[in-house]
Structure formats: C-alpha cells, structure tokens
A and B are shown apart, each in its own frame.
Chain A
Amino acid sequence: DAGVIQSPRHEVTEMGQEVTLRCKPISGHDYLFWYRQTMMRGLELLIYFNNNVPIDDSGMPEDRFSAKMPNASFSTLKIQPSEPRDSAVYFCASRGPGGHEQFFGPGTRLTVL
C-alpha cells in the first residue's frame, strides 16, 4: 500500500487566492482526518470524516475553510480566500475500521504571501 497520499507537497500562493489541498487515504480506511501544524500551536484537528460523512468540523478556524469527501478515496481541504496566517503544514491521516492507529500523509506545506 502506498500509504496516505497528499498533493501538492508544497504550495505558495498570494493572499486572497483559493487553495485546494488533496488527500487520498489508505484503501479500506473509513476515517479521514485533516490537521494543521504550526510552530505556535502544534498539531490541531480541523475536521474528520467517517464513511465520507463529516462528523466534527469544530476545529475549522473560519468559514474560509471547507472540506469535502466525495468518495472513500478522495478528500479536499479548501481555503478561500487565503491569508498569510493560514501558512502552515496541513496533514491528512486515515484510520481503518476497528483500528486504533492513525496513519499520516507527508503533509502539504502552505505558504501564503
């Protein structure tokens, strides 16, 4: 298995632009998590899905952030419009049915100028 796949690995954009981050979870996993990591706040859970359904989005910082999971093998995290304070590393993780461990992707490093 290729593990959790994220794209792009690096994204540099200008303030006000729309940013879309993509994630492919491990095949067969039914939970998908989106995290943001910054030096100041560490890893924070933004939203998670179970069987493609958003369960808890209380960590999404603002309405500028949205996430979708149209099918079991794909999820997106969108920021519109982006701001410099959104600069961070965004991780996607997945977990299998009845499993306890989360498996993380390599992350997307976002820089908003």
Chain B
Amino acid sequence: KQEVTQIPAALSVPEGENLVLNCSFTDSAIYNLQWFRQDPGKGLTSLLLIQSSQREQTSGRLNASLDKSSGRSTLYIAASQPGDSATYLCAVRPGGYQKVTFGIGTKLQVIP
C-alpha cells in the first residue's frame, strides 16, 4: 500500500525567502506525481505534474523534482510572496492504476 508523507506539516517564512516542501512515498513504482495547492475552503488547484520518466518540472517560481529511487519529491518556491500562503499537497499515482494517494499536506504561511 502506497503511503505518502509530507514534511513539515506547517511552515512559516518571511516574504522573499526561497523554500522547499518535501514529499516522500513508499512505493517507487509510480506513474506520476502531482503537486496541488489548496486555499482555505476551496478545491485543489494543480501546480505541477511530473511523469515517472521526468526528473523535474518548472512553472514560473515553482520547480518540482522527482527522485523515484529514493521515493522523494520536492517543491521549490522561489522568492515567496504572501499570496503563496496555502496548503500544498502532493499526490502519487501508481503505475497501471488510476487510484491516487495524497499526502496530508504542508500548510505554508508567508509573512509580509
């Protein structure tokens, strides 16, 4: 059974700082890994998706990396802004299957 862990559970940083969110998974036989953002009381917004054959994906100030062999992914946020404050979740989809397993998330607060 795939287990997804996100550390830390919460993070508070001053505006402008670069930061890294971590996601680890127990079964490396994955199809893809997706990072989401969730604002309070809202649904999930997809940020980046990394296929199992890829090492990283970038979108603007966001960069996600994937190391399947070690069962780890990181989400790097450059020059953080107060608008980045949200909960960030990673989700792992196993190979040959549709069921996605989510981590509990990291709650990020960027202080102006």
A positions within 8 Å CB-CB of B? 4, 31, 33, 42-45, 48, 50, 55-56, 59, 91, 93, 100-107, 109
In the complex, whether B46 has a CB less than 8 A from a CB of chain A is: yes
Which B residues are in CB contact (< 8 Å) with A31?
98
Task: Please measure, in the bound complex, the distance between the C-alpha atom of A4 and the C-alpha atom of B49, giving whole angstroms.
Answer: 19
Partner of B102, one of A43, A55, A100, A101: A43
- List residues of chain A with CB within 8 A of the CB of B42: 106-107
Query: A102 touching B102 by the CB < 8 A rule?
Result: no
Residues of A within 8 A of B36 (CB): 104
Please tell me if B81 contacts chain A, counting CB pairs below 8 Å.
Answer: no
CB closest chain-A residue, reference B105: A42
Contact call A42/B104, Cβ cutoff below 8 A:
yes
> How distant is the Cα of A105 from the Cα of B42 in the complex, in angstroms?
9
